[in-house]
Structure 1
Amino acid sequence: MHLDLPPDLVTFLTGLQTTMNDLKTEVSAIHSHLQAIPAAPVPARQSYSVDEIATLLNKRPYTVREWCRHGQINATKRAERRGGTALWSISADELARYNNEGLLPIHPDRNNRN
């Protein structure tokens, strides 16, 4: 099946095809260049705040604070305070442990080391 198209439309479509081919070549070159750049190392985190853990685990900060308070995850109180209460800090190792093993049994005294 052959369509007879107006000459100006044929010229436009031919130019469009050329432009698309040029863009494809440029994108391919950019892609190759980006693949050649080594990835920047991500600095290892030693600890996370309650809000950061909540975001990473798709939980509410209240839930993570309660886990800390009930000893369901290992956490420590930081020297930093907000509203008279020390803030919790959760280690990167504990985050990995939680991801592999889940919550610990409730043990309210686990994180209350003075």
Structure 2
Amino acid sequence: MTKRETYTLLALIAVYYEQFEVNQQKIDYWHEVLRHHEVEDLRQNLLQHVEVSPYPPKISDLMRKSAAVSRAIPDCRDSAFIVPISWKPASEEVVQAELAKMRQILGIVRGEV
């Protein structure tokens, strides 16, 4: 995105929102953040913002990803790659010792009905 495209985008925001002022400092700072983005993507996000908000957009409003991407919920196969299984089951002796502790705490005596 060129600085001229940044100015064009800010001028478009000013058309939609009367309270939005465009000045050189704003152009410079917005361009610093937006220069690596495609102007058409930002313009489409601006149009979506205008449809739902009476307030001028912030930079983050223009850079947001589509809802389909941000709301994707991984299934168990995707999660298997994200969360590695690094635990191993306890040995039988440890399991029985922990069960015995729980029975003692709860006052359970084995063999009683």
| TM-score normalised per structure 2 | 0.28
More strand by share: 1
More helix by share: 2
| TM-score normalised per structure 1 | 0.28
